[in-house]
């Protein structure tokens, strides 16, 4: 087993976490924050202060069962990578689309997928950012849809590749 982490911001972390946790080869997906200037931010901080954080999901996966490229493809298919002001009805800077890459290989994979999507007519606004410190969100955000029995309201699967 080869355990790795990947970091995706695609709007409200509940829906992103929901879809990644269903994927074979994903060991866990946790909701949290990345990309801002405040250490140990809370959900209240990122919603009501200008911390610069995005809602991010940390995906822990077995790279022998699923590739980073397949995770990134799933990311582009479970949110709208063309929406520049948030995701669905969730509007705001914490809901922007971004991939936080850990190395040059991940960056090239994401750039290649964006190029394919743009070739197919999509105007992709997803940012590629360097991985920063991941701050796990409060416990009540973890596995939200699993706990509540609800389904995502601003995420759905759309085949794009």
Catalytic residue among 6, 12, 113, 117: 12
Q: Is 12 a catalytic residue?
A: yes
How far is residue 28's CA from residue 96's CA, in Å, rounded to a whole number? 22
Give the DSSP per-residue string, 74-141: HHHHHS-TT-SSEETTEESGGG-EEEEESSHHHHHHHHHHHHHHHHTT-----EEEE----EEPPGGG
Task: Report, as residue numbers or ranges, the catalytic residues.
Answer: 12
């Amino acid at each position: 087993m080869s355990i790795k982490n990947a970091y995706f911001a695609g709007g409200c972390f509940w829906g992103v976490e929901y879809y990644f946790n269903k994927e074979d080869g994903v060991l866990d997906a946790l909701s949290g924050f990345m990309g801002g200037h405040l250490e140990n931010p809370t959900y209240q901080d990122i919603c009501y202060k200008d911390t610069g954080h995005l809602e991010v999901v940390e995906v822990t996966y077995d790279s022998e069962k699923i590739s980073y490229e397949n995770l990134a493809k799933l990311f582009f298919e479970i949110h709208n990578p063309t929406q520049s002001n948030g995701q669905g009805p969730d509007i705001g800077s914490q809901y922007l689309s971004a991939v936080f890459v850990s190395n040059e290989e991940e960056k090239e994979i994401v750039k290649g997928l964006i190029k394919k999507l743009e070739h197919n007519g999509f105007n992709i606004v997803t940012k590629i950012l360097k991985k920063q410190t991941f701050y796990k969100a409060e416990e009540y955000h973890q596995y939200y849809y699993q706990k509540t029995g609800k389904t995502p309201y601003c995420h759905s699967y759309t085949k794009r590749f």
